[in-house]
Every structure is written in C-alpha cells, then in structure tokens.
Amino acid sequence: MQEQQEKLTNKPRRCRVLGPVAYEYTAANTGSWRLERPDVDFSACIKCGTCEKYCPTNVITIKKDQKKCVEIDFNYCKGCGICANECPKKCIKMVPERSEG
Ligand code: SF4
Ligand code: SF4
C-alpha cells in the first residue's frame, strides 16, 4: 500500500500508512502554517526554562551558556504564543511572520 500511495502521489513519503484511513505522520514542516512567530529579547531573559516547559510542540531549547539562550526550531513552531504568554519576564513577543522582528 505504501508503494502504491507513493506512485499515485509521486511525492516523497512523509507518513507511514497503517491502513486505508490511518496514517502515522513522521515529518512535516508545520512551521509554514504560522502567522506569527516568537521574538525573544535575550537581554531580558533569565534562562528560567518556562517557555521550554510550556511549548506544546517541544521546539524550544534553552542554551544557558549562550547569549542567544532561547533556541526555537522554526520548522515546527506553530506560532501559538503560549511561550510569550507564560514567560515570567515577558521578554517574548509575538511578531507577524513576515516582519523583520
Ligand atoms: S509560539 Fe508556540 S510552538 Fe512556537 S515556540 Fe512558542 S510555544 Fe512553542
Ligand atoms: S520563559 Fe522567558 S525568561 Fe524564561 S527562558 Fe523563556 S524567554 Fe527566558
């Protein structure tokens, strides 16, 4: 069934077919869905890790030894704004996706 699907769509496989109506998605660049993205003021960040803890897609990594201490994987960040909402220092703001930030 997997080969059949690939022949029909002529696209690289991004999910595993489990049955006629069941798919297990393994990779997709969901960041393209985003309308807004988080912009971090690194000078105000206290590296507490709250944003990392609350991010529902688990795309934030805190790098305590670096100046840009909050690393966000924008391939998968959905722009939900939870990190900005939960940050105790309010040093994350949501900006329109296509702005300079
Ligand atoms: S906007 Fe949402 S998905 Fe993106 S880093 Fe913040 S909490 Fe995670
Ligand atoms: S929640 Fe705010 S202060 Fe804490 S690590 Fe994230 S950006 Fe920095």
Tell whether the model's pLDDT for residue 21 goes beyond 80. Answer: no
Note the ligand closest to the C-alpha atom of 38: 1
Tell whether the model's pLDDT for residue 34 goes beyond 70. Answer: yes
Q: Which atom of ligand 1 approaches the CA of 86 most closely?
A: 7
Query: Structural domain boundaries of the chain?
Result: 1-30, 34-101
Structure tokens at 48: 């507490």
3-state SS, 71-94, equals EECCCCCCCCCHHHHHCCCCCEEE
Tell me which CATH code domain 34-101 carries. Answer: 3.30.70.20
The finding on whether 94 has its CB within 6 A of some atom of ligand 1 is no
pLDDT of residue 12: 52
pTM confidence score: 0.75
Query: Can you tell me the mean pLDDT for 57-82?
Result: 94
Structure tokens at 21: 């109506």
The finding on whether 93 has its CB within 6 A of some atom of ligand 1 is no
Assign 32 a pLDDT band (cuts: 50, 70, 90): confident
Q: Ligand 2: distance of its center to the CA of 33 in Å?
A: 24
Q: How far apart are CA 26 and CA 11, in angstroms?
A: 14
Contact assessment for residue 80 and residue 56, using Cβ atoms and an 8 Å cutoff: yes
